[in-house]
């Protein structure tokens, strides 16, 4: 009887000591932060930190030691000047919609929330570029550009809230990136602050590299907060298309859906978007407030063509015919703004609706050669059904960018293990068919354990050398992308 009691007492007292130590360290961190930023910009209470524990995935919680919200770029630079001496990790956070565990304090530390850096500094319509701060929400930029007849094409479905900073740091994609290309195609310049507080410019309104021989800008895009804090960007714009037609077509099974996708990709109408919702995805939309009369029980393709009016009008019937010939008995199309917007709203809300279906979900972001689409998706259904884990697929089919969502309850013992096993098997198959781990969400800490499936030790060493050259101690967003990339205080 004595043994367990004694060990309990010892444990309790050691917790007391470490809690005491922790609160001492925390109060010292707090007072240091208050020398770097005005008082109202530093947050350390449990209630203030609670909302910063997770990202869009929600099931892995890492509460930071502190959160700072700089009022502007100058305050962010001021913070970065003193950040190294804090000896804790520094994690940049935009809207926190990442689906890869990117903006969380996996090794503790300070989260820098960029929500106040939200100025659109210039819209140079004639030059087809704009200058924006990193905290600007994507849809706010769209709304500001539209009256001028221009647009910024990358369109992640999280557009109402996600920030340009998060988009650039994860090289975001979106539905229309099939034709228009992802974020990296539109970043002309990046302004970034390194850990010593030095402000660097990579490129600018005219694009290029800025005062650098190598193209460092390319390293910044998709760096997932591991290199520097972005403050602003210069982004390339395009003229708004004159005419847009949106199609929806349903298919009875995966094989015919895949055939329709191949036919669309090969067609000279060159669609802007080819999206797919599986029957569960359609049912989820139809049982929500986003219901828009989609026929249930089938796989659905959502396709869009755009461009000069006469040209696009001439392509409508050939595209509809192609969709029918591929096996659809139900092809609808429209150029009416209201109808089109309703369809897109339903598609883009799908990710958010998952949260209403299930307490937690894991979404994968694999990219595969499109010829393997039906085969890999079948594997997803087979594995998930066998494990009793519902899988919902809503994704950018034209890009071969799969997003299987595995719904589970993290409170049920064993559920997460099952999801992780299915995800691993899926990723192994993805690599075997010639695909890769991420198309747009980034690796974060959710997919870092899969990195060795794709990259050998030499390749991992070389890739790790990039963040190491910016911050050798790995103070910027540690434990992301690479499992072994720890901050050595």
Ligand X SMILES: Cc1cc2nc3c(=O)[nH]c(=O)nc-3n(C[C@H](O)[C@H](O)[C@H](O)COP(=O)(O)OP(=O)(O)OC[C@H]3O[C@@H](n4cnc5c(N)ncnc54)[C@H](O)[C@@H]3O)c2cc1C
Residues that bind ligand X (CB under 6 A): 55-56, 91-99, 102-103, 114, 134, 156-158, 162-163, 165-167, 169-170, 172-174, 224-225, 229-230, 351-352, 440-441, 477
End-to-end CA distance of the chain: 42
Residue nearest to ligand X (CB): 166
Tell me 50's DSSP state: G
Instruction: Pick the closer one to ligand X by CB: 158 or 423.
Output: 158
- Distance set, CA 20 to CA 9, 14, 15, 27, 48 (Å): 17, 10, 8, 11, 20
Instruction: Pick the closer one to ligand X by CB: 59 or 230.
Output: 230
Phi, psi angle pair for 207, to nearest 5°: 80, -145
Instruction: Pick the closer one to ligand X by CB: 274 or 322.
Output: 274
Instruction: Pick the closer one to ligand X by CB: 367 or 416.
Output: 367
Instruction: Pick the closer one to ligand X by CB: 76 or 312.
Output: 76
Instruction: Pick the closer one to ligand X by CB: 475 or 477.
Output: 477
Least distance (Å) between residue 18 CB and ligand X: 28
Q: Which long-range contacts (CB under 8 A, 24 or more apart) does 408-416 make?
A: 408/358, 408/359, 408/360, 408/361, 408/362, 409/358, 409/359, 409/360, 410/59, 410/359, 410/360, 411/359, 415/389, 416/59, 416/360
Instruction: Pick the closer one to ligand X by CB: 229 or 331.
Output: 229
Phi, psi angle pair for 168, to nearest 5°: -70, -40
Least distance (Å) between residue 308 CB and ligand X: 27
Instruction: Pick the closer one to ligand X by CB: 152 or 322.
Output: 152
Q: Position of tokens 């989260």?
A: 111
Mark 84-96 as b/e (b = at least 16 C-beta within 10 Å): eebebbbbbbbbb
- Give the CA count within 13 Å in the CB-facing half-sphere of 200: 20
Least distance (Å) between residue 136 CB and ligand X: 10
- Whole-angstrom distance, CA of residue 387 vs CA of residue 419: 8
Least distance (Å) between residue 55 CB and ligand X: 5
The answer to whether 480 touches 449, Cβ cutoff 8 Å, is no
- Whole-angstrom distance, CA of residue 355 vs CA of residue 345: 16
- Distance set, CA 187 to CA 19, 305, 444 (Å): 45, 24, 21
**Starting at the edge strand that comes first in sequence, how are the strands of the sheet with 90-93 ordered?**
42-43, 66-68, 110-113, 90-93
Least distance (Å) between residue 355 CB and ligand X: 8
Least distance (Å) between residue 222 CB and ligand X: 9
Instruction: Pick the closer one to ligand X by CB: 25 or 451.
Output: 451
Q: Which two structure tokens, joined as six digits, stand for 483?
A: 């499992």
Least distance (Å) between residue 95 CB and ligand X: 3
Least distance (Å) between residue 145 CB and ligand X: 18
Instruction: Pick the closer one to ligand X by CB: 328 or 445.
Output: 445
- Whole-angstrom distance, CA of residue 226 vs CA of residue 467: 6
Sign of the C-alpha dihedral computed for residues 282, 288, 289 and 291 taken in this order: positive
Least distance (Å) between residue 88 CB and ligand X: 15
> Residue 131: beta bridge partners?
122, 234
Least distance (Å) between residue 137 CB and ligand X: 8
């Amino acid at each position: 009887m004595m043994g367990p009691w004694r060990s309990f007492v010892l444990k309790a007292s050691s917790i007391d000591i470490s809690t005491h130590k922790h609160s001492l360290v925390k109060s010292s961190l707090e007072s240091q932060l208050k020398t770097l930023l005005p008082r109202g910009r530093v947050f350390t209470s449990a209630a203030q930190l609670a909302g910063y524990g997770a990202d869009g995935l929600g099931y892995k919680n890492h509460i930071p030691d502190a959160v700072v919200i700089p009022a502007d770029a100058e305050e962010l630079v001021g913070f970065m000047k003193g950040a190294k001496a804090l000896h804790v990790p520094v994690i940049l956070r935009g809207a926190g919609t990442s689906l890869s565990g990117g903006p969380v304090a996996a090794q503790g530390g300070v989260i820098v929330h960029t929500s106040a850096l939200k100025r659109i500094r210039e819209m140079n319509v004639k030059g087809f570029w704009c200058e924006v701060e990193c905290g600007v929400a994507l849809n706010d930029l769209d709304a500001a550009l539209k009256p001028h007849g221009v647009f910024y094409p990358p369109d992640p479905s999280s557009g109402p809230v996600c920030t340009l900073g998060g988009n650039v740091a994860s090289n975001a994609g979106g539905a229309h990136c099939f034709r228009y290309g992802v974020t990296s195609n539109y970043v002309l310049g990046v302004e970034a602050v390194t850990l010593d507080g030095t402000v660097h410019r990579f490129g600018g309104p005219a694009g290029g590299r800025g005062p650098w021989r190598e193209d460092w800008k390319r390293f910044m895009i998709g760096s997932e907060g591991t290199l520097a804090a972005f403050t602003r960007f210069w982004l390339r714009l395009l003229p708004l298309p004159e005419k847009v037609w949106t199609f929806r077509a349903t298919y009875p099974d995966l094989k015919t859906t895949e055939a329709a996708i191949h036919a669309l990709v090969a067609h000279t109408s060159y669609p802007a978007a080819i999206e797919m919702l599986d029957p569960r995805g359609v049912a989820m939309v139809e049982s929500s407030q986003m219901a828009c009369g989609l026929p249930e029980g089938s796989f659905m393709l959502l396709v869009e063509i755009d461009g000069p009016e006469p040209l696009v009008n001439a392509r409508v019937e050939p595209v509809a015919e192609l969709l029918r010939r591929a096996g659809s008995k139900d092809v609808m199309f429209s150029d009416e703004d209201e109808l089109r917007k309703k369809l897109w709203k339903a598609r883009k809300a799908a990710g958010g609706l998952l949260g209403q279906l299930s307490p937690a979900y894991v979404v994968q972001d694999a990219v595969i050669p499109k010829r393997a689409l039906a085969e890999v998706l079948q594997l997803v259904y087979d594995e998930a059904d066998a494990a009793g884990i519902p899988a919902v697929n809503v994704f950018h089919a034209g890009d071969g960018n799969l997003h299987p969502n595995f719904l589970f309850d993290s409170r049920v013992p064993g559920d997460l293990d099952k999801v992780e096993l299915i995800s691993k098997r899926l990723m192994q198959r993805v690599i075997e068919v010639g695909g890769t781990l991420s198309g747009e969400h980034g690796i974060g800490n959710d997919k870092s354990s899969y990195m060795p499936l794709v990259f050998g030790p030499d390749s991992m060493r070389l890739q790790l050398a990039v963040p190491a050259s910016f911050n050798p101690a790995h103070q910027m967003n540690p434990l992301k992308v690479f499992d072994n990339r720890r901050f050595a205080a």
